Each structure stands twice: as C-alpha cells, then as structure tokens.
C-alpha cells in the first residue's frame, strides 16, 4: 500500500500531528462591544448582556459563561430571562422575538436558540401596530405579554410563539372600561411599561406614554384601577406588597400612587423632583427601569433612579442616583448608561425587598455597587473587565509565572484596590466544571495613557491583578495625585465618579508601545511613543527616589537630518514617590524621540536593547551607562524623521515611490529567468552561499520573491532585537551577542563582553560589531532565533539557573534562523553560510506578520513535546513550521484578512495559545495545542434557587455553545462559517476602523500606519515568554 501514498506522506507523522496540533477558538476576554440590553434572573443568578451586533452573553459565577449569536446581525434591544426556567427571550430591533435555552449535553450546559417569531398585524396595518416596545414574561404560565406602539397588548404562548388573539388587550377595550372622566383626553399612545402584580398573577399593570396607568384584571378583562399623570411616562415600578406604585416622568419627577380598594384617588400620594425640572433619560433604546423603590424592614426605603439631572448644567452626564436614610449620591459614569438592575433577596415569600447590590451596564463597562456597606463602594469585577479603559496599544504574554513573583504582584495590586467593597461577587449562578489552571500566566497590556495592566490569563476569566502607571516619571498637565472624583461636601448635585473607563489621555506621547518582563528577576522594561525606555524593578514597599536619566543619540550627530516630529517628554528631576510594585530606576531617552519599535531585556547580563526607526542601542542598567548606539538610517529615510504624531508626509513622494516600485516589478518580470533564483542573502564577513541552493528549483506553492529597493522608506526601521550566547566569531569560543533586524532586510550582530559577576560593577560592558547580513530581497526581518547543538532554541535568561530548563548544548554547531516577511532561512554559525530555507510567500501574496517559538505537548504522552514556530500571516492564517527543518505542519484560518488591526494585535504564548483583538474591548483567545486548552465548561440547573447571598466562585470556565465554532481543522482546510461573535463584529466596518484607530492612533502618519500594522514581535530567548 505504501507505493500508493503521496511522496513524503508519513502515516506515523500524521498521527503524531493529530496528537500535537488542534485549532480552537476558546473564549472571549473583556467587555462586549457596543452592549444594548441587560437582563437578570434572580432564581438562576445569571446576568445576560445583548449587543448591537446580535450577540448575547450570559455570566454567572466566575467561569460560568455562555455566548450565542443571532443569525441576523440585528441589535438586541431587550433580554428577558423566564422566571424559574433556563430560558430567555430576546427582542431584536427588527421586531423579532427569539427563544433561547440552556440545555445539558455531555454533562455541561449549552446555549441554543429554539424558536424565533415576528409579530405581524392584519394586512394593510401600519408597522407601528405591531412594533413591540415592552415584553413581560408571565410567572405562572409560559405566556409573553407584548406591549406595542399602537397601545395594544398582544399575548403569545411559549415555546412555540403561538399568538393568542382572544387574549389581546386592545387600547379600545381599555378605553371602554375607563370612567367617563378619563376618556376625554388622548391618553393612549405606545405602551411604555408592563408589570405583573407582585402577589396576584391575575393582575398586570399597563403604562402608556401619555401618562395613563391601568391595572388590568386578566380573568375578568376589566380595569381595576387607573392613574392619570399630566406628564409623559418614562417607566414604572410596583412595590413588593402591591400597595404602592412609583412612576417616573420626562420632567425629572417621580410620583407615588397608592393602590387600594378605596375610592379612586386621582392625585398622587407624593410627587418629587429631586434635581429640579429637567429631562429624565431612558436607559437605551427600550424602556428600562428608570426608577426603583425598595421597602426594607426596620430601615428607610431605597430610592434608585436614572437621569433626572438638570439639563442646562448636567445634560452631558450619565447618572444613576441612590437615596437612602438621608444620604443621596449621583453615581456619574463616563459612558452612556444602557440599563441597570437591583439585586435583592430572591425569596418570593418575603414581605419586603432587601436590596444589596446595584448592577449598572454602561456603554463601555459594567459597574456593581455594594448597597449594604457604608459609602456604597464599588465591587471588584472577576470578569467583564474594561480592557479598553484606556486604548490598548500593545500586549505581552508571560507563561508559567513563579509563585513568589505572582504573590508579590497580587500584593501590590491589593493595595490599589482598597476602595473596593469586600462583598463577594453577587452574580454567582451555575457551576464551573473546568479544572483549576495548571500554571500561572500573565497578559500585560500597554495603554495610551502610559499605564501597563497586569491580567491573570491563567483561566477563562481575565482578571486585573495590578496597574502600573508611568505618568509620575514625567511632567504632564495633570497632577498624578489629583483625585478626579473628589467633590466638596456641600456641592449639589452630589456627583461621584465611578467606573474605570477613561478614554482621554493627558498626552499621547505617554502611550506604551513595547513591554518586556523577566519573570525570574522581576525586572520590567517598557518603552513609549516619545522614545522613552523605562527599566523598573519590583519593590514591595513604597519608595521616594529620583529616576536617573540617560540620553541615547541614535543619529550620532549625523548632518543633514532634522527631526520634524513631536518633542520628548519632560522628565521630573527630583525624587518621585512610587507606590509598592514596579518602580522605575532609570530612564533612557532616545533622540530623536521617535516611537520605540523593538525592545529586549536580558536580566542575567543586566542589559536592555531598544530600537526605533533611526537605529538601536544597548544600555547597561546595572552600571547605568550606555554601551553603544547604532544608526540604521538610509539616505532615503527622510520619512523616518517625521514622527508618528506628524502629518507632513509628502503625497507626491509617496506616489512617486509607488510608481517606481511598479516599474521595477514590470522590468524584473521581463528579465526573470525560468529556472532557479539567485541566493537571497549576503553577509558582511562571508558572502558565499552553497551553489546547490542558488539553483534550487522552486516548489509549486512558492514563487520568486520580488527584490525591494534600498530606496524604499523606513529601511532603517528596527523590527526585532535578540540576545543570544552563541558562536559568533569562531567555533571555539561562544560569547554573548546582540542581534538586530531592520525593515530593509539587514541583520546586525554585535559580540558583547560582559564582565564576570565579581567585577561587574568595576568593568564596563563592551560591544563590537561582528557581522552584517543583507537579505537580497530586502524583506523586513520579523524574527531572529539561535538554535543550540541539538537544534533546540536557547533557553530564556536565568531559566537554567532556576533549574527550569536544560542547559543548551554548546558542543555542537549552532544555527541562526532569520525570519523575514517572505521567507525563513537557516544559517550555520559562526560562518553564516545558508543551510536551508522555506518561502511562505504564496501566490496570493502572503506575508509573515507574527512569529514565535512554542512548545507543543502531546495529549497522549505526557513526557513528549516538540518546539515549533507559530506563524501568523497578513491573510489571517496561522501556520506551524517545524524546527530546525522548516517543514510546514498545519495551517489554520484564524483571523479575517480584512481585519488588519486584529492581525496586528495578535500575541502568541509559549505553549501554543494566542490572543488578538476582535473589538477595542475584547480579546479572542485561541489554541493551536491539543494539550493546552483554556475553554469554559459549566452547568446551570433550573432547579437551582439560591436564597443566600453569593460568594466569589471558584476558577474560571465556559461552555462550548452552538455559537462557537471550535473544532479541529486539517492542513489547508477552510474554517466553516460558525456563529462566532467575531464574525458579527468584523462585518461592521465601523468596528474595524475603531480597532485600527485604537492600535495605530489617529495621530500616526500614513507611512507609520502601514508599517506598524505589519510590525512583527521579536523572538525572545526560547520563544514567546
């Protein structure tokens, strides 16, 4: 049978690949993009959020998550969880109703859509006749009462959505049953509110927008009570004992109406205007609880309402007010309030409500307020984190954090969380079935406001551990000690800022562009938009210290170059007080102050390397001195002097360069020889290549690479930096080295002399350029990696010292792997002669955007694993390439090729997982490994009714719902269209533009945008952290 197999097809290898590789999109971290509806089930203790793209997400205890997507990408306007059932009904803006169920399959719950329904009127009826405004699920039977714009209330039966026309409550029927004095006014328009009697399910309340409120008897089809207000109705609330109604109105007032069997009282019991005449906002596009009032035994009632602020002075504020026992606070949110709900004890037999938490869904974040603790502090979120509280500019993942460092980071973060409530997380429905994470992982995100946030990325829930701010190092317009939420005691209205979303940056130059953390030493390097490079050390105590400043002139006083971009940030000269955590001790300022494009830290040698569009440098942060700088500017790189915050790029020059490239492409195609391709690499010390490689015939799936001109702009742009202890000068001695790759296809290699530990502070670190390699096709260098004598990537700094890795083989010959945008090439060291290569550039124009080393463990054999390259292309494909033979293993379609910003934001982990932004506020997590799979799996039981207040759930988990397409894909297989949140988001061009502007910045020049989206993440020692 073997003679019938394709050449190179190995059945044993194919089986092994199935044990190593499997592609899954597992979970979405962060806050849903553009939320539009909120729902809550007191019996299940489950929170539901709907979005404008048609997605619904359910959250319970930490790790209990579900996601579904409507087939029509219409906005979700309302979500209603059916009482006592694992079912919910959604209303979309196309007037369609959808029934969803949580069904148990294989021991875990899954969210599935069961039925859909559109309410239709008689032929010729106006669309408003059946346009749904309010949905009321009845508690005793599976009925939905649907209020409409025409004033009629329709009834449908679940689960089949069968319309019960004989139970329709028409506006005419209500009008006929009103007293004579109430019929003379035009009291009917759309239904604004529907409520079921808290004690008697045979009574429902109907509120009309013109101010009429009636209590309707379902059995007798009659009006029991009616209430008439002179103001437009916004919403209504019914007290638990059924004896009091509270209505809120458009003039900023709310009224209390008694419900009794006595004579009808036409006037309200009380009418209050808490902030004066104004406009009471409605939460979102649908009626929402704009007012709530709770009677509490032995205590004064809570009054909670949205809006009501004076329009002239506070018309732009998004507020929810809480009044209780003489205390009044207007919680001020930085984004529009969509909806809110109040959590109370779920015991239906209780005589009074007992509110303990206020849950507010804003447009950009979720906020939970503790109503039982004095001062009403916020509750810390275990999930639904607002990742984009300041726009994300970069990210960095570190795997397998040592326990000591983990505890120190958590301890520093806990001191920042003193303002949070000690209440356990109140939304705790469901049970997480996912086992505890096997290791501790960190995801670090850099932000536009100069902060770095540390996230626990070990499991399903992405939880904030610690926030580092670099603002204190620099002089800005805002005092770092200023409390923006502080307000005088006598000021009115009593506003208090809540939430973490703050999209405004004091200075765009503060933006973080590169992050590098050493998990063994606790050293951290961060680099920013204005050429600032900070080296920080973890300190458990607060300290007041001066940050030493060193300037690195990358132009080396070259004449004829003039920087046209932004100025450097002014650093504080005196001592600065830093809170416990990572504290900076040295600032390296690049000149010109261009964006730092690459960063590498070697904590064992105490060296940090940095690169910009002008060159790169090496800094000794132990002796606080500069080792060397290297200018990489080409004479044609004038655009590199314009800066990312400048718009002075010449359109004529851009067009001229484009036409030159087109002409060169035509000429080279006419001169192309039919066989072979010349060697692509020249190297400075040994410019020879094996003749066999020069005449190698191209594989069918590859094409010849177009050579790029040295005159192309940004050729000196430093794309990657890499430290390695290898054979650079001769094969008898290995030495520390620094490698740098540029946008013009040039690789610089510097040999380093690092003094031994006993003389480290006495002798300087010395560097000397040993080699310069120029790729013939001049494609940008995306990654550099050195393999030891066993063809294994060199370990991370200090990894061997901590007995977490084997010592590298320094006996056999080392190999150098250079990854450009268009090909992979392996060279022998120290001669730098080409050994083998792989061209990933296919006919459709694929380019490498990200590359990282990952370890893939077998799901069958615990002790077996392989190191491979994980590669992301500009087409959104992910490929796994073997080391050191460079053989493609598998290929998966991961990100849509149109999602340029999603591709630019992708980061790989050390164990075959990855993250990328599907919206400005959400990371999609995926896995290429069969062994390392962080996927939520949970169970929700409809019989589960908790009467106790919830606690923080255990570990994080979620279920594989029908909405998520997670399955193995073979090499070259296209991904089947699944109902994934990403598809809904990326079908909206506005979302794509928003992500791109977040990552690239509106202030970036056109040339910077094009190159930054393509910028690859440099390989660190041993691969991704």
Q: How far apart are the C-alpha atoms of 60 and 63, rounded to whole Å? A: 8
The whole-number average pLDDT for the span 359-387 is 95
3-state SS, residue 76? strand
Q: How far apart are the C-alpha atoms of 721 and 742, rounded to whole Å? A: 9
The whole-number average pLDDT for the span 810-832 is 92
The tens digit of pLDDT for each residue in 840-887 reads 765 567 899 999 999 999 998 888 999 999 999 999 999 999 999 999
Q: What is the pLDDT of residue 238?
A: 86
The whole-number average pLDDT for the span 591-615 is 95
Q: What is the pLDDT of residue 343?
A: 93
Q: What is the pLDDT of residue 656?
A: 55
The tens digit of pLDDT for each residue in 239-271 reads 888 888 888 888 888 888 888 776 555 677 778
The whole-number average pLDDT for the span 62-83 is 94
The whole-number average pLDDT for the span 698-703 is 43
Q: Distance of CA 817 to CAs 261, 577, 707, 874, Å?
A: 87, 44, 20, 21
Residue 772 or residue 4, greater confidence? 772
Predicted TM-score (pTM) of the model is 0.85
The answer to whether 216 touches 206, Cβ cutoff 8 Å, is: yes
Pick the closest to residue 985 from 906, 903, 917 (CA basis): 917
The answer to which of 311-320, 786-795, 822-831, 890-899 has the lowest mean pLDDT is 311-320
Six token digits for residue 384 = 């639904």
The tens digit of pLDDT for each residue in 184-234 reads 656 568 899 999 998 889 999 999 988 889 999 999 999 998 888 888 888
The tens digit of pLDDT for each residue in 513-564 reads 999 999 999 999 999 999 999 999 999 999 999 999 999 999 887 777 788 8
Task: Count the Cβ atoms, other than its own, within 10 Å of residue 704.
Answer: 17
Q: How far apart are the C-alpha atoms of 83 and 67, rounded to whole Å? A: 20
Residue 935 or residue 959, greater confidence? 935
Residue 669 or residue 371, greater confidence? 371
Q: What is the pLDDT of residue 874?
A: 93
Q: What is the pLDDT of residue 660?
A: 58
Q: How far apart are the C-alpha atoms of 816 and 739, rounded to whole Å? A: 10
Pick the closest to residue 932 from 1022, 862, 881 (CA basis): 862
For residue 623, pLDDT over 90 is answered with yes
For residue 911, pLDDT over 70 is answered with yes
The answer to whether 890 touches 17, Cβ cutoff 8 Å, is: yes
The whole-number average pLDDT for the span 812-829 is 93
For residue 327, pLDDT over 70 is answered with yes
Highest mean pLDDT: which range of 480-494, 800-814, 958-972: 800-814
Pick the closest to residue 375 from 425, 319, 320, 325 (CA basis): 325
For residue 168, pLDDT over 60 is answered with yes
Q: What is the pLDDT of residue 93?
A: 94
Q: What is the pLDDT of residue 556?
A: 82
Q: What is the pLDDT of residue 579?
A: 95
Q: What is the pLDDT of residue 292?
A: 58
Q: What is the DSSP string of 280-311?
A: PPPSSSS----EEEE--TTSPPEEEEE----H
For residue 712, pLDDT over 80 is answered with no
Q: What is the pLDDT of residue 973?
A: 41
The tens digit of pLDDT for each residue in 477-517 reads 765 555 444 454 457 778 899 999 987 777 889 999 999 99
Helices (H), 468-567: none
Task: Count the Cβ atoms, other than its own, within 10 Å of residue 996.
Answer: 21
Q: What is the pLDDT of residue 994?
A: 58
Q: What is the pLDDT of residue 827?
A: 95
For residue 675, pLDDT over 50 is answered with no
The answer to which of 259-263, 579-583, 640-644, 672-676 has the lowest mean pLDDT is 672-676
| pLDDT, mean over the chain | 82
Q: How far apart are the C-alpha atoms of 50 and 338, rounded to whole Å? A: 11
The answer to whether 459 touches 447, Cβ cutoff 8 Å, is: no
Q: What is the pLDDT of residue 959?
A: 33
Q: What is the pLDDT of residue 983?
A: 52
Residue 325 or residue 379, greater confidence? 379
């Amino acid at each position: 049978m073997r003679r019938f197999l394709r050449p190179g097809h190995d059945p044993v290898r194919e089986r092994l690949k199935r044990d190593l590789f499997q592609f899954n999109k597992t979970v979405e971290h962060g806050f849903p993009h553009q939320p539009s509806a909120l729902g809550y089930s007191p019996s299940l203790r489950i929170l539901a959020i709907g979005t404008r793209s048609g997605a619904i997400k359910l959250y319970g205890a930490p790790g209990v998550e579900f996601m579904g997507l409507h087939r029509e990408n219409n906005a979700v306007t309302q979500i209603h969880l059916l009482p006592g059932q694992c079912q919910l009904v959604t209303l979309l803006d196309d007037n369609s109703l959808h029934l969803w169920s949580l069904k148990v399959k294989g021991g875990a719950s899954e969210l599935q859509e069961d039925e859909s329904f559109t309410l239709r009127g008689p032929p010729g009826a106006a669309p408003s006749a059946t346009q749904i405004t309010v949905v009321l699920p009845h508690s005793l039977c599976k009925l939905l009462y649907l209020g409409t714009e025409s004033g009629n209330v329709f009834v449908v039966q679940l689960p089949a959505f069968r319309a019960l026309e004989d139970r329709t409550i028409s506006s005419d029927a209500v009008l006929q049953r009103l007293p004579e004095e109430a019929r003379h006014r035009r009291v009917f328009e759309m239904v604004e509110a529907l409520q079921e009697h808290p004690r008697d399910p045979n009574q429902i309340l109907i509120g009309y927008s013109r101010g009429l409120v009636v209590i309707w008897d379902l059995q007798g089809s009659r009006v029991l009570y009616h209430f008439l207000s002179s103001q437009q109705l916004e919403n209504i609330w019914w007290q638990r004992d059924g004896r009091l109604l509270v209505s809120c109105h458009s003039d900023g007032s709310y009224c209390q109406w008694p419900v009794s069997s006595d004579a009808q009282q036409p006037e309200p019991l009380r009418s209050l205007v808490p902030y004066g005449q104004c406009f009471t906002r409605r939460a979102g596009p649908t009626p929402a609880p704009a007012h709530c009032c709770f009677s509490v035994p032995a205590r004064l009632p809570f009054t909670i309402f949205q809006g009501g602020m004076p329009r002239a002075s506070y018309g732009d504020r998004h507020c929810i007010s809480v009044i209780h026992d003489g205390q009044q606070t207007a919680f001020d949110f930085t984004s529009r309030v969509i909806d809110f709900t109040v959590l109370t004890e779920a015991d239906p037999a209780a005589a009074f409500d007992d509110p303990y938490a206020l849950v507010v869904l804003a447009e950009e974040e979720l906020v939970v307020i503790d109503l039982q603790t004095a001062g009403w502090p916020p509750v810390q979120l275990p999930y639904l984190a607002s990742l984009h509280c300041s726009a994300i500019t970069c990210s960095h993942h570190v795997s397998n954090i040592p326990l000591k460092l983990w505890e120190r980071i958590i301890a520093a973060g806990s001191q920042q969380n003193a303002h949070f409530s000690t209440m356990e997380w109140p939304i705790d429905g469901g049970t997480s079935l996912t086992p505890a994470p096997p290791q501790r992982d960190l995801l670090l995100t850099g932000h536009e406001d100069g902060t770095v946030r540390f996230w626990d990325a070990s499991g399903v829930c992405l939880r904030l551990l610690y926030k580092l701010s670099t603002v204190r190092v620099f002089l800005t317009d805002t005092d770092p000690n200023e409390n923006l939420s502080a307000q005088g005691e006598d000021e009115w209205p009593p506003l208090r800022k809540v939430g973490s979303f703050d999209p405004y940056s004091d200075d765009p130059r503060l933006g973080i562009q590169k992050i590098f953390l050493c998990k063994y030493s606790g050293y951290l390097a961060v680099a920013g938009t204005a050429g600032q490079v900070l080296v920080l050390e973890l300190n458990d105590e607060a300290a007041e210290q001066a940050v030493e400043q060193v300037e690195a002139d990358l132009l080396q006083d070259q004449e004829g170059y003039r920087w046209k971009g932004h100025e450097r940030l002014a650093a504080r000269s005196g001592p600065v007080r830093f809170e416990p955590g990572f504290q900076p001790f040295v600032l390296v300022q690049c000149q010109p102050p261009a964006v730092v494009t690459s960063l590498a830290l070697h904590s064992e040698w105490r060296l940090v390397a940095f690169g910009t569009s002008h060159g790169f440098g090496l800094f000794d942060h132990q002796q606080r001195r500069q080792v060397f700088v290297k200018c990489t500017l080409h004479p044609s790189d004038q655009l590199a002097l314009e800066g990312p915050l400048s718009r002075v790029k010449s359109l004529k020059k851009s067009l001229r360069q484009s036409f030159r490239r087109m002409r060169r492409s035509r000429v080279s195609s006419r001169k192309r020889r039919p066989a072979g391709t010349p060697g692509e690499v020249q190297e400075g010390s040994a410019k020879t290549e094996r003749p066999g490689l020069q005449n190698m015939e191209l594989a069918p799936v590859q094409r010849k690479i177009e050579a790029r001109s040295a005159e192309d702009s940004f050729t000196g742009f430093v794309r990657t930096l890499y430290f390695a202890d290898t054979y650079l000068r001769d094969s008898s001695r290995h030495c520390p080295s620094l490698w740098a790759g540029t946008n013009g296809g040039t690789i610089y290699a510097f040999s380093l002399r690092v003094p031994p530990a006993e003389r480290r502070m006495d002798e300087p670190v010395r560097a000397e350029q040993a080699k310069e390699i120029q790729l013939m096709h001049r494609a940008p260098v995306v990654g550099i990696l050195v393999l030891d004598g066993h063809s294994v990537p060199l370990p991370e700094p200090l990894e061997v010292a901590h007995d977490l890795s084997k010592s590298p083989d320094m006996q056999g010959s080392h190999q150098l792997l250079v990854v450009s945008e268009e090909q992979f090439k392996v060279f022998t060291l120290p001669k730098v002669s080409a050994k083998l290569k792989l061209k990933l550039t296919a006919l459709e124009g694929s380019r490498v955007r990200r590359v990282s080393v990952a370890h893939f463990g077998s799901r069958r054999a615990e002790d077996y694993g392989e190191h491979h390259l994980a590669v992301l292309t500009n087409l959104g494909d992910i490929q796994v390439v073997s080391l050191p033979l460079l053989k493609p293993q598998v290929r998966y379609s991961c990100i849509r090729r149109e999602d340029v910003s999603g591709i630019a934001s992708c980061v790989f982990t050390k164990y075959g997982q990855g993250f990328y932004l599907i919206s400005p506020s959400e990371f999609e997590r995926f896995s290429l490994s069969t062994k390392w799979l962080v996927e939520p799996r949970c169970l929700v039981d409809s019989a589960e009714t908790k009467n106790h207040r919830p606690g923080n759930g255990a570990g994080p988990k979620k279920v594989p719902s029908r909405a998520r397409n997670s399955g193995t894909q073979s090499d070259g297989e296209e991904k089947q269209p699944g109902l994934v949140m990403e598809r809904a988001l990326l079908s909206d061009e506005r979302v794509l533009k928003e992500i791109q502007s977040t990552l690239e910045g509106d202030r970036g020049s056109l040339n910077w945008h094009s190159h930054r989206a393509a910028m690859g993440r440099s390989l660190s020692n041993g691969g991704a952290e």
